[in-house]
Amino acid sequence: MSSIKIFSGTSHPELAKAIAKNLKMKLSEIVISRFACGEIYSRSLESVRGCDVFIIQTATHKVNEDLMELFIMIDALKRAFASKIHIVMPYYGYARQDRVTIPREPISAKLVADLIAAAGADHVITIALHSDQLQGFFNFPVDNLTARKLFVEYFNKKKIKNCTVVSPDAGGVKEAKRFANLIGVQLAVIYKSRPSHNVSEITTVVGDVEGRTCLLYDDMIDTAGSVCNAREALLKAGANKEIYLAATHPVFSDPAIQRLRKAKFKEIVVTDSIPIPKNKLLANMKILSVAHLLADVIEHVHKAKSVTEVL
Amino acid sequence: MSSIKIFSGTSHPELAKAIAKNLKMKLSEIVISRFACGEIYSRSLESVRGCDVFIIQTATHKVNEDLMELFIMIDALKRAFASKIHIVMPYYGYARQDRVTIPREPISAKLVADLIAAAGADHVITIALHSDQLQGFFNFPVDNLTARKLFVEYFNKKKIKNCTVVSPDAGGVKEAKRFANLIGVQLAVIYKSRPSHNVSEITTVVGDVEGRTCLLYDDMIDTAGSVCNAREALLKAGANKEIYLAATHPVFSDPAIQRLRKAKFKEIVVTDSIPIPKNKLLANMKILSVAHLLADVIEHVHKAKSVTEVL
Amino acid sequence: MSSIKIFSGTSHPELAKAIAKNLKMKLSEIVISRFACGEIYSRSLESVRGCDVFIIQTATHKVNEDLMELFIMIDALKRAFASKIHIVMPYYGYARQDRVTIPREPISAKLVADLIAAAGADHVITIALHSDQLQGFFNFPVDNLTARKLFVEYFNKKKIKNCTVVSPDAGGVKEAKRFANLIGVQLAVIYKSRPSHNVSEITTVVGDVEGRTCLLYDDMIDTAGSVCNAREALLKAGANKEIYLAATHPVFSDPAIQRLRKAKFKEIVVTDSIPIPKNKLLANMKILSVAHLLADVIEHVHKAKSVTEVL
Amino acid sequence: MSSIKIFSGTSHPELAKAIAKNLKMKLSEIVISRFACGEIYSRSLESVRGCDVFIIQTATHKVNEDLMELFIMIDALKRAFASKIHIVMPYYGYARQDRVTIPREPISAKLVADLIAAAGADHVITIALHSDQLQGFFNFPVDNLTARKLFVEYFNKKKIKNCTVVSPDAGGVKEAKRFANLIGVQLAVIYKSRPSHNVSEITTVVGDVEGRTCLLYDDMIDTAGSVCNAREALLKAGANKEIYLAATHPVFSDPAIQRLRKAKFKEIVVTDSIPIPKNKLLANMKILSVAHLLADVIEHVHKAKSVTEVL
Amino acid sequence: MSSIKIFSGTSHPELAKAIAKNLKMKLSEIVISRFACGEIYSRSLESVRGCDVFIIQTATHKVNEDLMELFIMIDALKRAFASKIHIVMPYYGYARQDRVTIPREPISAKLVADLIAAAGADHVITIALHSDQLQGFFNFPVDNLTARKLFVEYFNKKKIKNCTVVSPDAGGVKEAKRFANLIGVQLAVIYKSRPSHNVSEITTVVGDVEGRTCLLYDDMIDTAGSVCNAREALLKAGANKEIYLAATHPVFSDPAIQRLRKAKFKEIVVTDSIPIPKNKLLANMKILSVAHLLADVIEHVHKAKSVTEVL
Amino acid sequence: MSSIKIFSGTSHPELAKAIAKNLKMKLSEIVISRFACGEIYSRSLESVRGCDVFIIQTATHKVNEDLMELFIMIDALKRAFASKIHIVMPYYGYARQDRVTIPREPISAKLVADLIAAAGADHVITIALHSDQLQGFFNFPVDNLTARKLFVEYFNKKKIKNCTVVSPDAGGVKEAKRFANLIGVQLAVIYKSRPSHNVSEITTVVGDVEGRTCLLYDDMIDTAGSVCNAREALLKAGANKEIYLAATHPVFSDPAIQRLRKAKFKEIVVTDSIPIPKNKLLANMKILSVAHLLADVIEHVHKAKSVTEVL
C-alpha cells in the first residue's frame, strides 16, 4: 500500500490538526505564502512521489482565496508526483448555486467541481452537500458524508422531552424527517405561502408544536434570517420558549450573530466544518467536531475499505 | 445561417409531426429499422452536411430502446457532418435516479447525460426536469423548459371557483407555489410523517382544503400511487369531491390506469410529452400539447435568439 | 494485489456462474431490477472500493437492454470506487456495423465502444470480434480472444475423414484457413459473383469438395441464410451429404432455427457466448463452453500475467 | 461563408497544384523548411484567421517525415486561428497496421489518427482506405473517397474484349466485385491455400480466365510481389498473355519496379495519390489523376454540400 | 457574422469603458455581486445566445478574487449559449510562476490557463506575457500583444538626447534590445554576479552609460526593488541623474510606491493594464492607455481579420 | 511493486545499454523494423502486462524518425497492457521552437508534448530542457534533470586556475551563474547589441576575462556558430588562448565539426545525451556519460522515491 500524507490549507488548520491527531499522524509540512502582489505560492517540504495525499481545505468567508489556494496546492502536489490527491472539503463552497433558476445564471457548484478536477484532484470528501445531486457534478466518485450521526448522538443524550424536530423550509423536509426518526420524535415543517396575488407571504407551521419543545434542524446557518423567522413562527404557534437550533455548517455571515444573539435560542448546535472566529462564539453555542468522522473516512479510503461502515 | 433539419425517432412521431407543422416544415426523411437480431439501424435519406439538426425523441416505457436508438441516430448524423445536433427530449428518462441515496447506487441521470454527450450531441432541450440540478450534469448548456404556462392558460380559462392547488409531496412545493401564484389561488401541501419509531406513516394535509375544490399538481404521474393516496387524504380533510389532477409527464406505468379509473378525478390534465397509448386514454383525460412550445424554442435556438422570451 | 470481484448482468447468468466456478469463486451479489416505467436499477450488495471488478454481460436479442444494463452497472460500480472495471462481453453487439458503406450510416460498433468508455469501463474482453480492426475503436487496450482452440480440440477428436473446411464467404477466408491448417485439412471457399450486368448472382464453390465431408466454418450464425445456401451449393458441387457447421456465436435470429431444422446438418457446433433458449435447441446441436477460456483470461488479467499463454 | 485556403506540404506539390488549378485558386504561401539538425519549421505567409483551411499531404516513402511535417503545419495553422483544418491525405500511411494480429503489436493506423487529431485537425479526406473500419478510428467524421470511378471511366473507354477482373487475394474480393459489375465483366479471384500441414502453399485461380484478358485490380501496389505472382498464376491457368494491372495507390517500394519491368504487364494503371519519381516511371504505366475528384470534394465540403453527389 | 458583446468584470471597469468607447459600443449589462458569505454571483442582463463575447478582466492585487469572478462570469455566459468567449486579460496573473525551479513547486501560470479553459473560455488576449512560452500552456491559440508600440511612440516624441535603453536584468535583454532598436538608441544591461563563493553579489552595468540619459525598460514593476537598485547602479556608473523608467504592467506591490517616491525618477511611464489606485499615483507618473490597442484587436478578432496588422 | 522493463529505441542503443548496466538489468527485447515503404513496425518480445515500462529514445539528426518510432513503441506497449509508460528522452527534440516569435509559427515543443501524450505515455524524463517553461507544456509531471553535476565534478577535478565561466549569450546567464557558483569561479557574459539603426551588430564581453582562462558553458552545441564567435570575442578581449567549451547536448549539425576543428578549443566537454558518430569525434572532445544519472532517476521513479535526492 502506498504511504499516506495529510496536508492542511490555511482555511481551517485546527480541524486539520484534529484529524491528524485522530489518525495518530503528523500533518505534512508545506509552505503556503502570499506575495505582496496577492499571488499565492505553495510547496511541499516533503517528497510525495507515489503517496496517497489528502488536502484538508474548507470554504470560509474568503471562499475565493480558499479555492485558489486549494487549486495551487493540488497543482504543486500533482507535479511532485503524488499518486492520488483526495480533497477533504467539509463545507463545499458555492453549493447553493447548483442550478439555473433565472436564465443566464452560472451553475457555480458545477464550475467549482470542474475547476477542482482541472487542477488535478482525484476524489472529493465532503459533508452534507446542499443537494445530493451535486455528486453527479463530478466525473469521479464523491464521498458525501453526513454529520447526522453527531447530532443524533448529542440529542439522544439530551433526552429533550416533548420534542418536535422542525424543518425551517420545504427543501429540508426529507433530511429533517430522517433525523427526527433517528431520535424518535415528531416532525413539523414551516413553509411560506401566498394565498392569492397581491397578498403578502404567510409563514405557516405544519405539524404539532403547541406546548412542545422545538428543535430547528437545517444543513447550514448563513445569515440566520430564516431560522430566526422560523423561531418567531414557532412561538406564535404556541411552541415552548426553549427552542433548539441545530445545523451542520456554521457559515454565520453578517448579520447572523446579531440575529442569533437577539433570538436567544436555548442552544445553537453546529459542527466545526467551518472555523468560527472567536468574536462570533456565543455562550449558547455548542460545537460538535467532525474530526473523528473525517479521520475514519480517510483511513477507510486509504485502506480501500468500505466507507459505508463509518457512516 | 445554416439550414435546419428536424428528425423524429420512433418514440413519439405524432409530437414530432406536430412540431414540424408548427414550424411549417416537413420532418426530414430517415430510415430507422431493427434487424432480426435486435440491433437498430439508422440512416438519413437527406444530406445534413453543415445543417443545424434537431432530433425529437422522448423516453417511453421502452426507455432503453429509445435511448439506444437516439445514440445511433446521433452517431449517424454526426458522421454525416451535421453542424450541430440538438436533442429535443420532452421527457428525460432516468431523471429520478439523480443522486446516490444508498451507497453503491448509480447516478443514472448523469450517466444518460454522459452517454448523450459521448454519442456526439451538442445541446439538449427538455421539459420539467425532475430536479433543476440535472442541468449541471451536462458539460454543454441545457434548455430546461416548463409546461407551466400551458397549465396556467388552461386553468385560467376554467375559472374553478374556490380552488386550492395541492402539492402531493414536500419535494414539489416550490413549483406548486409558483403555479398557484400564477393562477391566483391558495396552496396546500400533503406530506407524510412518522411521529415516532414503530408507528405507521401518517399522511397530513397542510393548508386549507375544507369545502374547497382541489387541484393536485405534480411533475409526473408514474404509477399514480401517490396522487391517489393524496386524493383520499384530501377527501378525508373535507375537500370537495371534484378533485382535479394536473401533471406534465404522463408516464402511466402499471397500475396507474386502474388506479386513476378507480379514483374518478374530475379531470386529469397532462401534456403529450410522452405518447399515451389508446388503451390508456380515459374519458376524463385532457391532453395539452407541448408542440407549439417546442417549435417556438427550436426556432429561437436555430436563429440564436433568446429562448427566455418564449417561456 | 487488489481483490477481485465478478458480477453478472442478466444477459447470461449461466455463463457467469460457470466462469466463477472455474475460478473457484462466487459471483458477487448485485441487485438488478426494472421499474414499472421500464428503467433499470442496479446496486452492488458488496463493497467494491479498491477492487478489480469484472462484469460478465453478452449481447443477446435484447441487445439494447443488455447494453443499457451494462452501462448502469458500470456507473454504479465506478461510483462505488471500484479500482478497475473490466467488461467481459463474449459476443460484442453491433460489431457488424463497423464501417460506413452507404453515406450517412452510423458506425455503431464504434459508438458502443465510446459508450462503454463513457460509462467508465477500463478494459474489454471479448471473443471473435467480427473484424479485428474493432480493437482500434477503443482508446484502451482490448483482449480479443478466439474460440478457435475449442473447435480445434473438438474436431481433432472427431477425426472426420476426407474433410474440407469451407468458408461460406470471401470475408471469412483468412480465419477459415488458420482453422483448416490447425486441424490439418483442406480449405474451400464459397463466393458469389455476377458474371455481367442484369444476370442473377451465381454461387461458386472454389476448392475440392467433390465426395468430401465439408465443415462450414464461420464467426456467427445469424439468420442462417448464408450457411444454408452454402450447404446447397456444396451438395450441388458433389459434397458428401454429411455437412458439419461450426460457428462461434449462435445469434440464431428468426428464421434461423426453421432453416437449420430443414437443412439437416450432420452437426451444428457453436459456443455458449450467447445463451440459447430451450426452444431453439436442436438435437444435432453441440455447444462448446467458453467459460474455461474466459476464466483463464480473467485470472491472467487480474494477476497481470501474459494473456498470450492462455490462447 | 468563411474563406477557403489551400496549403501544400512537401510530399506531393504537383497534386496540390493540380487540385488548386481545378478549383481556380492559388495555393496559399507557406514556408516549410528543415534546420541542419533535422527539425522541420513551418509558417504560413498569409493570414488564416477564420479561414477554412485544407492541407494537401500524402504519405510517401518518407512517411515519417511527411507525418511530422503535417503535424507541424497543423499546429502552426491552428495557432494562427484557422477556423477549420481539413487534411487531404490521398494515401493514408500506416493504413495496413490496422489491427493486432500477433500480441503486442501496435495499431499504427489508429495511432496516426490520434496524432492527427492531437495536432489539431478537424477532418480528414482520403482515398481507398485499406479497410473501411479505419473510419471508426477517428473521433470526427472522415470522407473516405474511392477512385473506382476513374478506373471505370478509363476501362469503359478501353472496351477490352473478353475481359475478367481478377482480385489478387481474398481480401479484395468485395471491391473487385463492385468494380467488375460497374464495367460489366466477369470476376475471378486468386487465393492461396495449404491443403494439409507440411505442404507448401498453392496459388489457385477461381473463376473463368482461360483464354480471357485479365485485369488485376487491387487497392495498392507495394513491392508488387503478390500481383506478379498472380500474373504467373493467371498465365498458368491459361489466361491471355495481355494482362492489365490496375491499383489506386502506387507505393512502389523496392523491388516493385524491377518486378514490374520483368512482368511485362500490358498496362499498369495507377492514380497519382502518391508521386512517382521519374526513375520509377515505366513505358506501360498509365497515371489517372485524382486532382479533379479531390477538388470537387473540397468544394463540396467548403460549401457544406453533400459529398455523396461527387462520388 | 454573429453579433459582438463586451462585458467588464469588476477588476478594471475604466479600461473596459475606454475599450468600448474606442469600439463605439456600450458595455453589456451584467450583474456581479458578492453574498455576505463571500461567494460571487454573476448574471448577464442581456441575451448572449449565439454572440461573440469578450470579457475584460485583468489581474490586480486581489488576483484570486479577480480569477474566481472571471471563471463565474465565463460559466454564466457559456450556459447562456454564448457562441465564443474571449478573455481580454491585459495583465495575466501568476505569469511569473511558469516553471518548477525548486522541486515540488506549482506551475501556477499553467494552472490558471487550465482553469480558464475548464471554465469554458475559447480564447485569451493578453499583453506582454512574462515569458513567451506561456502561449504553449494553452490548448487554444493565444493573442499575446505587446505594448512596445505605445512606448516607442511616446519616447519617439520625447526625443531624449544621448539616450541609452537599459534592461534591469539578463532576462529582459531581448525585449529591451527590440525596443532600443525601434527608438534608435543604444542598449545597456545590468546584471548581478557573484565572483566567487561567500562573496556578496555584485551589480554590474554593461554597456555605455557614462554621462548618458538612461531609460530603464522592463515588463512590469512589482515591488520596484530591482529597478531602484538598477537606478543606483546606473548613477554609480556615471549615468545622468535624469533616469527614465518604463514598464508595461504597474503591479506596484508594497513597498513599490515608497521606493519610487524616494528614487526620484525623471519619469515613470506605465500602461493602464492594471488600475492604479489614486493613492499610488505619483507626480512623475505617465500612464499610456492600452484601450485603443485592445479595441483594435477585438475588432480584428471579431471580424476574423489578421491581428498582425494591428501590432 | 510492479516489475520494471527497459526498452531502447534505435536512436541511442549505447546509452540504453549503459543505463541498463548501471541498473544491473538487461534491456527488454523488442522488434523495431522498417518496411520497404518506409513504415516503422515495433513489437515487444516480452510480456509487459502490468509492468512499469521505460523507453530510452533521444532526438538525433533524424528527429522525425526518432519521434515516430517512439510513438509507435508507446502504442505497442500501451496496447500490450503496460501499467505505466515512462519516456526517457535525454535530448528533447524541437525544444527551441517553444514560442511564437513571428505570427503564425508553430509551437513545436508543445506539439511534441501533445503527441507524446496522445500516443499514450504517462511521464517524461529529460535533461536540460531548453527552457524550464517546457514543463508546463505537459499535462503530466515531467522530470527535467540537469547534467550540471557532471560538469561540476569534471571541472572541480581539473582545477583550472584563473578561470572564468562565460555564457555565450544573454539567455544562458542564469544557468551559467549557477554553474560558476558551484565551481567557485567568476562569471562573464557575451552579448550582442546594435548601438543604433543601420549599424552592424557588436559582440561585447561583459565581465573580467583579460588574461584569464575562459570556460564557455551552454546547454547545447548545434552548428557551433555562436560558441566560435564567442571564442573570437574572448580572444579579442584578451582572454587566454586556452578556452574550454562545455555543453550538455552535442547536436553537432553541419558545419559544427568544421568550425570546432578550426577553433581549436582547449577541450570540448559534452555529454552522451545524443550519440556522436565516429566521424564527428575530435581529439579534444571529452564525453561525460549521463547513464549513471538516468539509471539513478529510473530507480527512484520506479520505487516512488524522491528524485530530488539524485540531483
Confidence check: pLDDT of F123 > 90: yes
- What confidence score (pLDDT) does residue F162 get? 95
For A225, residues 6+ apart whose C-beta sits below 8 A from its C-beta are: A259
Report the half-sphere exposure of C64 (CA within 13 A, side-chain side): 21
**B41, B67, B96: residue with CB nearest C97:** B41
Confidence check: pLDDT of F51 > 80: yes
- What confidence score (pLDDT) does residue A171 get? 79
Q: For residues D221 and D179, state if they share a domain.
A: yes
Q: For residues F29 and F153, state if they share a domain.
A: no
Q: In sequence order, what E strands does chain F have?
A: 4-8, 30-34, 40-44, 52-56, 84-89, 123-127, 142-145, 163-167, 186-193, 202-206, 213-221, 244-250, 267-271, 285-288
**CB E48 within 8 Å of CB E310:** no
Q: 3-state class of D265 per DSSP?
A: coil
How does DSSP assign E228-248, residue by residue? Answer: HHHHHHHHHTT--S--EEEEE
Residues of A in contact with C50 (CB under 8 A): 304-305
Residues of A in contact with E38 (CB under 8 A): 60-64, 253
- What confidence score (pLDDT) does residue D153 get? 97
Alpha-carbon distances of A305 from A74, C2, C83, D183, rounded to whole Å: 24, 11, 12, 69
Q: For residues A166 and A257, state if they share a domain.
A: yes
Q: For residues E163 and E67, state if they share a domain.
A: no
Q: What is the pLDDT of residues F244-264, one digit of tens each?
A: 999 999 999 999 999 999 999
Average pLDDT over residues B264-293: 97
CA distance D167 to A73: 63
Q: Going edge to edge, which strands form the sheet with D52-56? A: D4-8, D52-56, D84-89, D123-127, D142-145
Q: For residues E104 and E159, state if they share a domain.
A: no
Considering only alpha carbons, which residue of chain D is nearest residue C306? D103
Give the gap in angstroms from C-alpha D185 to the nearest C-alpha of chain C: 5
Interface chains of chain A (3 or more CB pairs under 8 Å): B, C, E, F
Q: What is the pLDDT of residues B280-301, one digit of tens each?
A: 999 999 999 999 999 999 999 9
Alpha-carbon distances of C290 from A121, C151, C215, rounded to whole Å: 41, 11, 21
Q: Which of the residues F102, F133, F137, F160 would you substitute to probe the E interface, choosing the one with the greatest number of E C-beta atoms within 10 Å?
A: F133
φ, ψ (nearest 5 deg) of residue D247: -155, 145
Q: In sequence order, what E strands does chain E have?
A: 4-8, 30-34, 40-44, 52-56, 84-89, 123-127, 142-145, 163-167, 186-193, 202-206, 213-221, 244-250, 267-271, 285-288
CA distance B294 to E173: 62
CA distance D18 to C69: 54
pLDDT band of residue B170 (cuts 50, 70, 90) is: confident
Considering only alpha carbons, which residue of chain F is nearest residue C302? F50
- What confidence score (pLDDT) does residue D197 get? 56
Alpha-carbon dihedral E66, E68, E73, E78, rounded to 10 degrees: 140
Percent helix, strand, coil in chain B, to 5, is 35, 25, 40
- How many whole angstroms from its chain centre is CA D169? 18
CA distance F104 to E302: 18
- pLDDT averaged over chain A? 94
Q: What is the pLDDT of residues E63-102, one digit of tens each?
A: 999 999 999 999 999 999 999 999 999 999 999 999 998 9
Task: Identify the CA nearest to C68 among candidates B220, B31, B59.
Answer: B59
**CB E149 within 8 Å of CB E296:** no
Average pLDDT over residues B135-140: 92
Considering only alpha carbons, which residue of chain A is nearest residue B182? A197
Radius of gyration in angstroms for the set of CA atoms belonging to chain C, rounded to a whole number? 21
- What confidence score (pLDDT) does residue F260 get? 98
Angle between helices A108-119 and E63-79 (to 10 degrees): 120
Average pLDDT over residues D261-289: 97
CA distance A217 to F251: 71
Give the gap in angstroms from C-alpha C48 to the nearest C-alpha of chain B: 9
- pLDDT averaged over chain F? 94
- pLDDT averaged over chain D? 94
Q: What is the pLDDT of residues F82-99, one digit of tens each?
A: 999 999 999 999 999 999
**F67, F96, F97: residue with CB nearest D68:** F67
Confidence check: pLDDT of E176 > 80: yes
Q: Which of the residues A125, A126, A133 would you substitute to probe the B interface, choosing the one with the greatest number of B C-beta atoms within 10 Å?
A: A133
**E99, E144, E177: residue with CB nearest F135:** E99
How large a percentage of chain D has pLDDT more than 90? 83
Q: For residues E125 and E13, state if they share a domain.
A: yes
Q: For residue B117, is it within any domain? A: yes
Angle between helices D225-236 and D256-263 (to 10 degrees): 20
User: CB-based contact (8 Å) between E196 and chain F?
Assistant: yes
Considering only alpha carbons, which residue of chain D is nearest residue E135? D79
Q: What is the pLDDT of residues F182-230, one digit of tens each?
A: 999 988 888 776 555 566 677 888 888 999 999 999 999 999 999 999 9
Chains A and F touch (3+ CB pairs under 8 A): yes
**CB A293 within 8 Å of CB A149:** yes
- What confidence score (pLDDT) does residue F196 get? 56
We report the CATH number of the domain holding residue E210 as 3.40.50.2020
Q: 3-state class of F160 per DSSP?
A: coil
- What confidence score (pLDDT) does residue C171 get? 79
Task: Identify the CA nearest to A94 among candidates B96, B136, E89, E28.
Answer: B136
Q: What predicted TM-score, i.e. pTM, was given to this entire model?
A: 0.94
Joined together, the cell numbers standing for residue D191 give 487465393
Low-confidence stretches of chain A (pLDDT beneath 70): 1, 193-200, 311
Q: For residue E311, is it within any domain? A: no
Alpha-carbon distances of F242 from F161, F216, F247, F278, rounded to whole Å: 11, 11, 17, 25
Q: For residues B31 and B116, state if they share a domain.
A: yes
Q: Which of the residues D53, D79, D85 would you substitute to probe the E interface, choosing the one with the greatest number of E C-beta atoms within 10 Å?
A: D79
Cβ <8 Å between E39 and A68: no
Give the gap in angstroms from C-alpha C81 to the nearest C-alpha of chain B: 9
Cβ <8 Å between D306 and B2: no
Confidence check: pLDDT of B197 > 70: no
Tallying the residues shown for chain A, one arrives at 311
CA distance F222 to F59: 13
Count interface pairs A-B at CB distance under 8 A.
111
Cβ <8 Å between D47 and E141: no
Joined together, the cell numbers standing for residue E225 give 526593488
Confidence check: pLDDT of B34 > 60: yes
Average pLDDT over residues B28-40: 97
Low-confidence stretches of chain C (pLDDT beneath 50): none
pLDDT band of residue E208 (cuts 50, 70, 90) is: confident
- Region of poorest pLDDT, from B174-178, D38-42, D170-174, D207-211: D170-174
Cβ <8 Å between F136 and E133: yes
Q: For residue D131, is it within any domain? A: yes
**F48, F61, F79: residue with CB nearest D106:** F79
Q: For residues E81 and E174, state if they share a domain.
A: no
Q: What is the pLDDT of residues F126-136, one digit of tens each?
A: 999 988 899 99
Confidence check: pLDDT of F66 > 90: yes
Question: Residues C62, C174, C192, C305: which is the catalytic one?
Answer: C192
Cβ <8 Å between C76 and B104: yes
**D2, D49, D79: residue with CB nearest E306:** D49
Q: For residue D75, is it within any domain? A: yes
Task: Identify the CA nearest to C222 among candidates C261, C251, C259, C244.
Answer: C251
Q: For residue B310, is it within any domain? A: no
Q: Which of the residues D115, D124, D133 would you substitute to probe the C interface, choosing the one with the greatest number of C C-beta atoms within 10 Å?
A: D133
Residues of E in contact with D81 (CB under 8 A): 141, 304
Considering only alpha carbons, which residue of chain E is nearest residue B300? E49
- What confidence score (pLDDT) does residue A1 get? 63
> Domain span at residue A24?
4-146+291-302
CA distance A166 to C150: 68
Q: Which chain F residues in 60-89 lie under 8 Å from chain C, judged by CB atoms?
A: 78-81, 83
Q: For residues E133 and E152, state if they share a domain.
A: no
Interface chains of chain C (3 or more CB pairs under 8 Å): A, B, D, F
For B93-149, what is the HEC assignment? CCCCCCCCCCCCCCCHHHHHHHHHHHHCCCEEEEECCCCHHHHHHCCCCEEEECCHH
Joined together, the cell numbers standing for residue B92 give 428525460
First to last CA, chain B: 24
Chains A and B touch (3+ CB pairs under 8 A): yes
What is the tally of structural domains in chain F?
2
Cβ <8 Å between D136 and C98: yes
Residues of C in contact with D174 (CB under 8 A): 170-171
CA distance B166 to B164: 6
CA distance B54 to B125: 10
**D136, D196, D307: residue with CB nearest C110:** D136
Confidence check: pLDDT of E201 > 80: no
Q: For residues D97 and D13, state if they share a domain.
A: yes
- ipTM (interface predicted TM): 0.95
Residue showing cell 498465365: D235
Q: Which chain A residues in 157-176 lie under 8 Å from chain B, judged by CB atoms?
A: 170-171, 173-174
- What confidence score (pLDDT) does residue B7 get? 98
Q: For residues C208 and C173, state if they share a domain.
A: yes
Alpha-carbon distances of E150 from E182, E250, E311, rounded to whole Å: 11, 15, 10
Q: For residue B311, is it within any domain? A: no
CA distance C70 to C9: 7
**CB A250 within 8 Å of CB A227:** no
- What confidence score (pLDDT) does residue D203 get? 80
Chains F and E touch (3+ CB pairs under 8 A): yes
Q: 3-state class of F29 per DSSP?
A: coil
What stretch of H or E contains D200?
none
Q: Which chain A residues in 218-277 lie under 8 Å from chain B, judged by CB atoms?
A: none
User: CB-based contact (8 Å) between B50 and chain D?
Assistant: yes
Q: For residues D132 and D191, state if they share a domain.
A: no
- What confidence score (pLDDT) does residue A294 get? 98
Cβ <8 Å between C308 and F47: yes
- What confidence score (pLDDT) does residue E196 get? 56
User: CB-based contact (8 Å) between A95 and chain B?
Assistant: no
Confidence check: pLDDT of D255 > 60: yes
**B50, B78, B79: residue with CB nearest D304:** B50
Residues of B in contact with E78 (CB under 8 A): 141
Catalytic residue check, E159: no
**CB E62 within 8 Å of CB A96:** no
- What confidence score (pLDDT) does residue C8 get? 98
Count interface pairs A-E at CB distance under 8 A.
145
**CB E185 within 8 Å of CB E163:** yes
Report the half-sphere exposure of E129 (CA within 13 A, side-chain side): 25
Q: For residue E307, is it within any domain? A: no
Q: For residue F311, is it within any domain? A: no
Considering only alpha carbons, which residue of chain C is nearest residue D208? C195
Residue showing cell 527551441: F96
CA distance E85 to E125: 11
- What confidence score (pLDDT) does residue E243 get? 98
